[in-house]
Structure formats: C-alpha cells, structure tokens
C-alpha cells in the first residue's frame, strides 16, 4: 500500500533474534504495524512455520494484504485477543508497543500536535469514542486524573480546567492544533526541547485506547499461549509501559511457596527473564524515534499450577 508516510521498524533484528526462531514453529506478531518484524520472522520460518499477526488499525490491516504468504494470517483485533489462540501452541510472542510513524505523521489520525488534524487518536477508528467526543462530557477531575496518571503531567489540573473553560465558552477542542495551543497557553514551563503538549497528547492517546489495560491482558494471554521454551519479547517506549512489562516478568519469574504446605515443592516459575535491550547509537542516529525504546525478553518455563 503506497502512502507518503514511511515507518522504520525499531529493534528489527534484535527483536526477531530474541524470539530464537525455530523454523517449524508458530509465532505471533501481536502488533503488526507495517509488518517489519513480521517479514523478518517469515524469512526465518520453514514451509511448516506459521505467523499470526494482530492489529486494530485498518491501515495496518490493509498493509498486511501485501504479504501473500500461506504461512501468514492477520486478525483485525487488538492483542487482548491473544488468549483466544490454543493454549501452549505458540513458540514466540512479539509486542511492539510503539505508535507507528504513519499513525503519527498522518494528520487525519489526530495523534500528533505537529500537524493539524481532527482530535481523534483512536487506533481502531471503527469503534469507540474519539478524544474530542470523550471531552464533551468528561468531568474535570477525570480529565485531570487521565493527564496526571497517563501523561505524568504535574500541571494536569490546570490543563483540565482550561479545557473545561474552553468548552463552556465555545465547545471542546476538535483539532490537534487547538488542544496543543490550549496546553501551551496553560503550561508555562517545560523541559528544554519538549513541546508543552507532549504529555497531554500521550495521556489522551493511552486513555482513549485503554493501552495499559490491554497490555496487562495481553501479557497474561502470552502466559497462556506460549509453550515451554517459547519466548516473549516486548518493546516499550515510555516508563508506564515498561514498568508493567518489568513487573509482569518479575512477578512470574519467582518460585512461589504455599504457606499452608511449607514442605511442598514450590510452584514452578512461569518465566525466566533473559535480557533487556536498548537501540544502538547507530539506530538512534538513523531513527530518533527509537531513542526511548526498551525491549525486555523472557522465556516460558514449565506450566504453573
């Protein structure tokens, strides 16, 4: 599919290497995007191998039609549906949690304050509310909580009150430029080189797509579908995501003892943490959007009780 918006896959070879591809295995690209990881995975599979991809974005689904390969299939679903796959049937799960460059760069999607467009931010434009629709009836305290919790914004309440004043006067902001200006007029100080609206846009995008809740469900789903020896690789781009991934792997990498039966064998650990990888200096220089990426890798151990 030809578009003016190009995407450079982050940690391409590192992520696929981390999956420790078995040629005859079955793998999941839980966030297809524009298919960079999927294509490399397919190149390492035998004719018996299989790759299942997920994505909520209709543009990603359209891009996937370019892959004419009987070993490949894609589902127009978020990765919360991972647990619908057969338990213990998957050799590796890859999750790239970043917003793709075409989503950011296309003004019609409303993800970025750098180009004016409708204030939407939905990954799946076929369902749910856009940001501007949500803001019509959202309470000031709820808006502030979203900005504070998902954007880690210390001026959350001031921004929420400014949005409320604006909607009382002439309605909610309906474009990205309107919201960005409102935030800039409200936030008088900011880190050097960072737009005042950065944290608010991140917060609204995470909230409107329930990204953190979906990530938690998807991680739990990976536990169900990975077979022993299977790999989980997750690339995150901000501390909220990375914290969830780190805590999940840590929680499931411990032996658990039953206090009611102190002499019983401990519950088998679910995962073994393998490594934590960041982009190389060369990758960051060639693709600045990769600079905040962190990939955590774990291996599925025995099936827990």
Domain boundary among 208, 223, 241: 208
In a domain, residue 179? The reply is yes
Indicate if 257 and 293 belong to the same structural domain. yes
Indicate if 186 and 244 belong to the same structural domain. no
CATH number of the domain that residue 204 is part of = 1.10.150.170
| pLDDT, position 254 | 77
In a domain, residue 296? The reply is yes
Indicate if 141 and 202 belong to the same structural domain. yes
Distance between CA atoms of residues 174 and 110, nearest Å: 10
Indicate if 254 and 292 belong to the same structural domain. yes
Indicate if 285 and 218 belong to the same structural domain. yes
Weakest mean pLDDT among 123-137, 184-198, 254-268: 254-268
Domain boundary among 157, 187, 208: 208
Distance between CA atoms of residues 173 and 159, nearest Å: 12
Backbone angles phi, psi at 217, to 5 degrees: -65, -40
The domain tally of the chain equals 2
Indicate if 153 and 296 belong to the same structural domain. no
CA nearest to 226, candidates 248, 209, 256, 255: 248
Indicate if the pLDDT at residue 118 is higher than 90: yes
In a domain, residue 162? The reply is yes
Distance between CA atoms of residues 148 and 105, nearest Å: 25
In a domain, residue 136? The reply is yes
Indicate if 24 and 94 belong to the same structural domain. yes
Indicate if 221 and 189 belong to the same structural domain. no
In a domain, residue 69? The reply is yes
In a domain, residue 84? The reply is yes
Indicate if the pLDDT at residue 305 is higher than 50: no
| pLDDT, position 1 | 38
Provide the residue range defining the domain that includes 224: 12-102+211-300
Cβ atoms within 10 Å, residue 22:
17
Could you read off the pLDDT of 202-239 as tens digits, one per residue?
Answer: 999 999 999 999 999 999 999 999 999 999 999 999 99
In a domain, residue 3? The reply is no
Indicate if the pLDDT at residue 82 is higher than 60: yes
Indicate if the pLDDT at residue 55 is higher than 60: yes
Work out the average pLDDT over 41-54: 98
CA nearest to 227, candidates 112, 88, 36: 88
Mean pLDDT for the chain? 91
Domain boundary among 208, 241, 276: 208
Work out the average pLDDT over 72-76: 97
Indicate if 174 and 221 belong to the same structural domain. no
Distance between CA atoms of residues 300 and 230, nearest Å: 5
- At a CB cut-off of 8 Å and minimum separation 6, what does 217 contact? 80, 83
Reduced 3-state DSSP string for 42-63: HHCCCCCCEEEEECCCHHHHHH
Task: Provide the percentage of residues in the chain whose pLDDT is more than 90.
Answer: 80
Could you read off the pLDDT of 250-291 as tens digits, one per residue?
Answer: 999 976 555 666 655 556 689 999 999 999 999 999 999 899
Higher pLDDT, 1 or 144: 144
CATH number of the domain that residue 285 is part of = 3.40.50.150
Work out the average pLDDT over 152-166: 97
| pLDDT, position 182 | 97
Work out the average pLDDT over 128-155: 97
Distance between CA atoms of residues 17 and 305, nearest Å: 30
Indicate if the pLDDT at residue 60 is higher than 50: yes
Indicate if 201 and 221 belong to the same structural domain. no
| pLDDT, position 114 | 82
Work out the average pLDDT over 95-112: 80
């Amino acid at each position: 599919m030809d578009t003016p918006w190009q995407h450079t896959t982050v940690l391409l070879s590192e992520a696929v290497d981390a999956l420790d591809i078995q040629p005859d295995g079955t793998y999941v690209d839980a966030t297809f995007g524009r298919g960079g990881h999927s294509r490399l995975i397919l190149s390492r599979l035998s004719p018996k191998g299989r790759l299942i991809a997920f994505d909520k974005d209709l543009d990603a689904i359209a891009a996937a039609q370019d892959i004419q390969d009987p070993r490949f299939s894609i589902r127009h679903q978020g990765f919360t549906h991972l647990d619908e796959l057969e338990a213990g049937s998957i050799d590796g799960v890859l999750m790239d949690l970043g917003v793709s460059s075409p989503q950011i760069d296309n003004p019609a999607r409303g993800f970025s304050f750098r180009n004016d467009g409708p204030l939407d931010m939905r990954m799946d434009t076929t369902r749910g509310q856009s940001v501007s629709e949500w803001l019509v009836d959202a309470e000031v305290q709820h808006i502030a909580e979203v900005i504070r919790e998902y954007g880690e914004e210390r001026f959350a309440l001031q921004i929420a009150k400014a949005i409320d004043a604006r909607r009382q006067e002439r309605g909610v902001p309906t474009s990205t430029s309107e919201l960005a200006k409102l935030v800039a007029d409200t936030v008088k100080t900011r880190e050097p080189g960072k737009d005042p609206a950065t944290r608010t846009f991140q917060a609204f995008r995470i909230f409107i797509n329930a990204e953190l809740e979906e990530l938690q469900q998807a991680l739990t789903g990976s536990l169900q579908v990975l077979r022993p020896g299977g790999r989980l690789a997750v690339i995150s781009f901000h501390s909220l995501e990375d914290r969830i991934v780190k805590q999940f792997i840590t929680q499931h990498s411990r032996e658990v003892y039953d206090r009611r039966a102190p002499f019983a064998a401990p519950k088998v650990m679910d995962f073994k943490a393998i490594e934590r990888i960041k982009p190389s200096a060369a990758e960051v220089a060639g693709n600045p959007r990769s600079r905040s990426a962190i990939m955590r890798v774990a291996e599925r151990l025995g099936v827990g009780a």
